[in-house]
Amino acid sequence: MFNEVPQLYDRVRPGYPDELFADLVTITGMGDGASVLEVGCGTGQATRSLAVLGCSVTAVEPGAGMAALARQRLAAFGNVTVETSTFEEWDDRGRRFDVLVAASAWHWVDPSIGWPRAHDVLNPGGWIALLGHVVVRRPDEPEVYAETADLHERFSPANPDWGHPPLEDDVRTTDEGWGLVDDPGGLFGPTIVRWYPTVQWFTGDGFADLLRSTSPYRRLDRRVREPLLDAVAERVRTRMGDRAARRYLSVLRIGQRADTV
């Protein structure tokens, strides 16, 4: 899906704040030379931050186009290897890691395979860290979905993926567990959850490009998607002064490998 537009994905998708990686280091104790497995590295946005920490990073990415762009983007780092595979089918060749990181990717992994596999490839005392973004809104701030709901219904009526983002303060109260992915049972200890507010600002055309990189819009037939996004871009220009916010709470969910299950 995203493999069709790797350059666009790399350009418009939000990265992760430095504070998140600082907390990751503090919680796990990982430092220079720590072995990290990244599952679903995409174009290498989170991988760059891990590499800068001095970690030895093995990044696994199923999309050939995404993996190729990641190798290009990360070519200057001698401590990163990108391997093209799904995590479920990846050949670990007996390698074991201190930390497993998945940035906006773990929901694509089959949980019946992914959680046990994550446990198996981690060293005793290792950690799994799931990074992600939750789109949120603030009260009384103009919000794109509210401004374009009629357009979405016109071009793709009753699409279950449409909807208004939750309020930022409401999301902050959900500070337990692994979010929307299946629970790993006893494979990992209690989660530590940290939230980080971030915001992107877009013109109408830029916001349409952002939506082009997301799964609800990638799934639409192009003959539906493109007229819809052209109309969204025009609405942002004419009703929102050609300036739209995309607010996120970036999230770190982290748990330690259980040594006995």
> 193 pairs with which residues across the strands?
253
Pairing relation of β-strands 192-202 and 244-256? Answer: antiparallel
Q: Which two tokens stand for residue 124?
A: 């005793």
Q: If you average pLDDT over residues 8-16, what whole number do you get? A: 66
CB 155 within 8 A of CB 142: no
> 188 pairs with which residues across the strands?
257
Band (pLDDT 50/70/90 cuts) for residue 13 is: low
Task: Answer yes or no: is pLDDT of 121 > 70.
Answer: yes
Question: Among the ranges 119-123, 156-160, 185-189, 196-200, which has the highest mean pLDDT value?
Answer: 119-123
Q: Which two tokens stand for residue 204?
A: 């109408």
Band (pLDDT 50/70/90 cuts) for residue 242 is: very high
CA dist list (Å): 145 to 10, 58, 117, 165, 249: 23, 38, 38, 8, 17
Could you read off the pLDDT of 158-175 as tens digits, one per residue? 887 777 788 998 888 877
CA dist list (Å): 244 to 143, 148, 209: 7, 12, 13
Pairing relation of β-strands 192-202 and 80-84? Answer: unpaired
User: Cα–Cα distance between 181 and 131 in angstroms, integer?
Assistant: 12
At residue 147's C-alpha, the angle toward residues 141 and 150, to 5°, is 155
Could you read off the pLDDT of 56-107 as tens digits, one per residue? 999 999 999 889 989 998 999 999 999 999 999 999 999 999 999 999 899 9
